[in-house]
């Protein structure tokens, strides 16, 4: 999690949820955030003569995915002003967070990580976090927002599609040699308006 030390900026309040820039002391709550999901479908990637086809396909039994713990190494090599993490708290409870990074060379804002606690899913927290990412993108003149998602994370993919993201690429080998071997990376983007 990238933090903004000594920054007390509150970006917004929706109901009882406060959206603000992350602080160093938020790291432990962020590390404990449950980003797992259960799905009864996946986005199947199939090679064709013309390239690839992506289609949503039901799976039986449902898949429950728990992401492995982070290895503790963060890519903080760049300018900290080009990174932003927004957290959503209801009192002391972390509802969700979005971690972003802006790349000036291609005017791209990357969603490095977005997670919403299971009890807060479907309540607008993810959409509001994504809107804060888009505000950051506009602030820095980004042309588009880009993210990577596993093809089995159908709930997230459907949410991104509803938010206006489209498929823009894939990598069938990105997860090879990891706990996610067999999954494919789908890349999605949305223009900044």
pLDDT at 149: 98
Q: What is the pLDDT of residues 40-58, one digit of tens each?
A: 999 999 988 998 999 999 9
Q: How many CB atoms lie within 10 A of CB 83?
A: 21
Mean pLDDT of the chain: 91
Band the pLDDT of 79: cuts 50, 70, 90: confident
Overall average pLDDT of the 104-114 stretch = 96
Is there a contact between 33 and 115 (Cβ–Cβ < 8 Å)?
yes
Both tokens assigned to 186 = 């789908």
Q: What is the pLDDT of residues 147-173, one digit of tens each?
A: 999 999 999 999 999 999 999 999 999
Element (H, E) at 32: helix 27-32
In CATH, the number for domain 10-191 is: 3.40.630.30
Q: Give the C-alpha separation, 133 to 147, whole Å.
A: 12
Q: How many CB atoms lie within 10 A of CB 187?
A: 15
Q: CA of 158: how far to CAs of 72, 105, 141, 188, in Å?
A: 29, 29, 27, 11
What b-and-e string marks burial along 32-48, b requiring 16 or more CB atoms within 10 Å of the CB?
ebebebebebbbebeee
Nearest to 175 by CA among 65, 96, 89: 65
pLDDT at 5: 47
9-13 long-range contacts, Cβ below 8 Å, gap at least 24?
11/86, 11/132, 11/135, 12/128, 12/132
- The DSSP output letter for 29 is H
Is there a contact between 108 and 142 (Cβ–Cβ < 8 Å)?
yes
List the domain boundaries for the chain: 10-191
Nearest to 137 by CA among 187, 79, 193: 193
Strand partners, 99: 85, 113
pLDDT at 156: 97
Q: CA of 154: how far to CAs of 68, 127, 159, 167, in Å?
A: 18, 16, 8, 13
Q: Give the C-alpha separation, 35 to 70, whole Å.
A: 12
Q: Please check the confidence at residue 72 and state whether its pLDDT lies above 60.
A: no
């Amino acid at each position: 999690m990238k933090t903004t030390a000594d920054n007390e900026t509150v970006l917004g309040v929706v109901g009882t949820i406060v959206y603000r820039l992350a602080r160093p002391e938020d790291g432990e709550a962020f590390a404990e955030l449950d980003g797992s999901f259960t799905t009864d479908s996946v986005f199947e990637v199939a090679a064709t003569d013309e390239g690839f086809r992506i289609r949503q396909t039901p799976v039986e039994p449902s898949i429950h995915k728990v992401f492995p713990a982070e290895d503790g190494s963060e890519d903080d090599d760049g300018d900290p002003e080009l990174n932003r993490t927004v957290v959503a708290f209801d009192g002391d409870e972390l509802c969700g967070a979005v971690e972003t990074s802006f790349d000036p060379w291609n005017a791209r804002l990357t969603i490095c990580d977005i997670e919403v606690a299971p009890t807060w899913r479907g309540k607008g927290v993810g959409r509001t976090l994504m809107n804060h990412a888009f505000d950051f993108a506009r602030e820095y003149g980004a042309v588009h927002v880009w993210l990577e998602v596993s093809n089995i994370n159908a709930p997230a993919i459907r949410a991104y599609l509803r938010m206006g993201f489209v498929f823009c690429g894939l990598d069938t080998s990105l997860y090879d040699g990891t706990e996610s071997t067999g999954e494919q990376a789908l890349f999605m983007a949305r223009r900044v308006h």
